[in-house]
Amino acid sequence: MEAKYIFVTGGVVSSLGKGIISASIGRLLQARGYRITIQKFDPYINVDPGTLNPNEHGECYVTADGCETDLDLGHYERFTDIQTSCANNVTTGKIYQRVIAKERNGDYLGRTVQVVPHITNEIKQRMLALGETGDYDFVVTEIGGTVGDIESQPFLESIRQLKWELGRSAICVHLTYVPYIAAAGELKSKPTQHSVKELQGLGLQPDVLVLRAEHELNRTLLDKVAGFCNVDKDCVIQSIDRPSIYEVPLCMAAQQLDQVILKKFGMEVIGEADLSAWHRFLERRVKAERTVHVALVGKYDLQDAYKSILECLSQAGTYNDCIVKTRFVQSEGLTPETVTEQLAGMDGVIICPGFGSRGIEGKIIAAEYCRTTDKPTLGICLGMQMMVVEYARNVLGYKDANSSEIAPQTPHPVIDLMEEQKGVTQMGGTMRLGASACQLMLHSEAHIAYGRQFIMERHRHRYEFNNAFRPDFEKAGMICSGINPDNGLVEIVEVPSRRWYVGVQFHPEYTGTVLHPNPLFVSFVGHMI
Ligand code: GLN
């Protein structure tokens, strides 16, 4: 079957959960046996989000093939178990970079290079690229931003052209918001009508509308929207706030969103979507009664900044039949005096990834507190590096030990710049990125957690455990339980005398999915019960 294209746009306001709706559409079609992929087109000018501050844009997600991408790709992978790649995230910056490179190369043969057709052609080509591989029945394409933004216009124009060219092989799903005016006690559909008008003004007619709302919408309102927006009645779906985003695919299935989409493509609806594993996950989730508390020691005070970590903890809770409640602890300002008050009541602590020196000493203080009070602790990337620095200072007695990221002149650079990173000056896309292999030491906590000796996990960093100090650490009780078999780099450290004190140089949070949680998180939460 030739690939079919589903474009997902958003209107009225941002943060409506377009990523979750796109991921849910993917999941439902997959549950009917179709091969799917989901891609995100972002209208900003950064070539990728790797250089964006997490406090502004949320976490940067890393694909197995080593691209720094939008956090929505994390939702796609968590919901569908597919692996996304560099091709699944395109930004305006990437498009322009390519078009300008072609222009410099003389590829446009003297013509004036313009938004239409040159930029839109480049966008269209990328919108179709994954579909043309023959690997997918459906390609879901989410467009970042909100309809009406100046930046998103070339993307919407590209969709308009593609819908015209592809005929019944392309549809547009538009997500809007229905606000509740408390003083009047009314739900308002007008913003939705305006948003659809805006789309229509750009020559785009949505085929399906998903209305996000905090309160249940009645049939009269849904039908009214259908009538005003030229959309079939059964194609107006509601998405009401749920306690968990993992319920969204089932809410969409209950309203037959998958069937509506198939019919729009003129396809026959055969059989049922098999969502049994998903149902089992949710059933287990609602049965969980016991609560464990986990602190996230980090410097980015934004919910989205540690998105994948929070999702992995939440999944690990379900697989341990408990609820994980998290608390953000600002590492900046954490002192030996305040650490007890902040962390004593916690069942486990995550020392978060990050860049630069701000808040670093707080992470070291947290590591010392967790190690000496024997709290289950997971250090991720910079978090692992700070566990190593703390051990060097307080157990090995190297008081000036540090990472050379923080103190380049330290005589004890227990974390040091990788050889291939020396001399790199450009910021974007130059780190050690993507999946690499790791061999686990038999009977280590990591080995017990994963249940096998070879794993693949994703990286995003410049600095490494300095192997020159490895014998000192191992003699003093911190073992290197995960080693990259190709280059001997240390990927995991543990202190076996502690209950569960594990630091990983990679980012395990990028590979946990709803149906296949990351084993390290499952083991970490399991040790709190
Ligand atoms: N800043 C550290 C490095 O570059 C850690 C990066 C991270 O936590 N992702 O090595």
CA atoms of 272 and 29, how far apart (whole Å) = 10
Least confident of 11-15, 33-37, 102-106, 329-333: 11-15
At 89, the pLDDT band (50, 70, 90 cuts) reads: very high
CA atoms of 522 and 451, how far apart (whole Å) = 12
pLDDT tens track for 195-239: 999 999 999 999 999 999 999 999 999 999 999 999 999 999 999
CB atoms near residue 346 (< 10 Å): 23
pLDDT tens track for 269-304: 999 999 999 999 999 999 999 999 999 999 988 778
High-pLDDT (> 70) share of the chain, %: 99
Any ligand 1 atom below 6 A from CB of 510: no
Catalytic residue numbers read: 381, 507, 509
The pLDDT, as a whole number, for residue 369 is 98
Measured in whole angstroms, the distance separating CA 1 from the mean position of its chain's CA atoms is 30
The pLDDT, as a whole number, for residue 300 is 87
The pLDDT, as a whole number, for residue 57 is 81
Q: How much is the average pLDDT of 396-407? A: 96
Question: Which atom of ligand 1 lies at the shortest distance from residue 356's CA?
Answer: 1
Residue 337 has pLDDT above 70, yes or no: yes
Any ligand 1 atom below 6 A from CB of 11: no
Q: How far away, in angstroms, is 152 Cα from ligand 1 center?
A: 32
- Asked if residue 177 lies in contact with residue 13, where contact means CB atoms within 8 angstroms, the answer is yes
Q: How much is the average pLDDT of 92-116? A: 95
Distances (CA, A) of 506 to 24, 97, 455, 503: 28, 30, 11, 9
Residue 528 has pLDDT above 90, yes or no: yes
List the Cα angle 154/156/162 in 5-degree steps: 105
pTM for the structure as a whole: 0.95
Distances (CA, A) of 168 to 163, 164, 264: 8, 9, 8
pLDDT tens track for 445-501: 999 999 999 999 999 999 999 999 999 999 999 999 999 999 999 999 999 999 999
Q: Which of 414, 461, 505 to mutate to test the pocket of ligand 1 (most atoms within 8 A of CB)?
A: 461
Name the residue among 1, 2, 7 with its Cα closest to residue 164. Answer: 7
At 429, the pLDDT band (50, 70, 90 cuts) reads: low
Residue 77 has pLDDT above 90, yes or no: yes
Q: How far away, in angstroms, is 354 Cα from ligand 1 center?
A: 6
